[in-house]
Amino acid sequence: MRLLGSQDSKQTLPLFIFLPGMDGTGELLQLQLAGLKSMFDIRCLSIPADDLTGWDGLLEQVVQLIRREQQQSPSRPITLCGESFGGCLALKLAAHFPSLCDRLILVNPASSVRRQPWMGWGAAVSQWLPNPLYHLSTLGLLPVLIAPKRVSFLNQQALLVAMQSVSPPSAAWRLSLLNQFVLEELPLERIEHPVLVLASGADRLLPSVAEAGRLVSYLSNSQTVLLPESGHACLLETEVRLSSILKL
């Protein structure tokens, strides 16, 4: 597990740490990099494709990675951005280790998975699928994850490659972790820094708008930005610019 950064790292800029979705690659932030690079020094968490680490282990490893970054530049602020699965990891990090970041961004966080019974069924089945069937199942998920007309063909292909890079047992394991995630069990009162929740109005995978409302009710210094026509993987959409949203 590691934090990937660009070769033109600028330690004079605030640090932006991206925690990816179920794919765990960090590669799907590529579309947003051009706008973000002028504002932040960017790192993306990369989780091995066959990783079976539990929540506690993930927390421990990511905390160590972020603390190494803090040691290099102790004074610069850190923005922690978690998408979907990464949103749950970001919430755990911010609640248990509030000094690790100065701002939290949650992009369609998957904190409602345990209330979606079909997701638990998916976790039970996917681990037993042979690779050809598993790859076929990811293709069937594509229209659920995106609003197709808003995502270019190249970005749709990038999403498929990222999804198919994860082994079936690891994909099932990450789904099982989401089924174990209970928002109310976190010490959310410790999250006092600003929180921005991006919620897609056309999310077919999860009830992201309703979940954003639930999160805001628990987080005292938070606000929601609604993306009314966006799908779950909204950062892949041509019309969505995270850098512009952060400037509002």
- In sign, the C-alpha dihedral spanning 158, 127, 91, 25 is negative
Q: Which of 158, 130, 132, 131 is nearest to 146 (CA)?
A: 158
Domain boundaries, the chain: 2-246
In this prediction the pTM is 0.92
Least confident of 84-98, 124-138, 150-164, 195-209: 124-138
DSSP state, residue 42: E
4 vs 48: CA distance, rounded Å: 13
Q: Of the CATH numbers 3.10.129.10, 3.40.50.1820, 3.40.50.620, 3.40.640.10, which one belongs to the domain with range 2-246? A: 3.40.50.1820
Q: Which residues of 137-169 are buried (b: 16+ CB within 10 A; e: fewer)?
A: bbeebbeebbbeebbeeebbebbbebbbebbbe
Q: Which whole number is the average pLDDT over 191-219?
A: 96
Q: Does residue 130 register a pLDDT over 50?
A: no
- In sign, the C-alpha dihedral spanning 180, 183, 185, 190 is positive
Residue % of the chain over a pLDDT of 70: 89
pLDDT tens string 131-153:
544 554 666 788 889 999 999 99
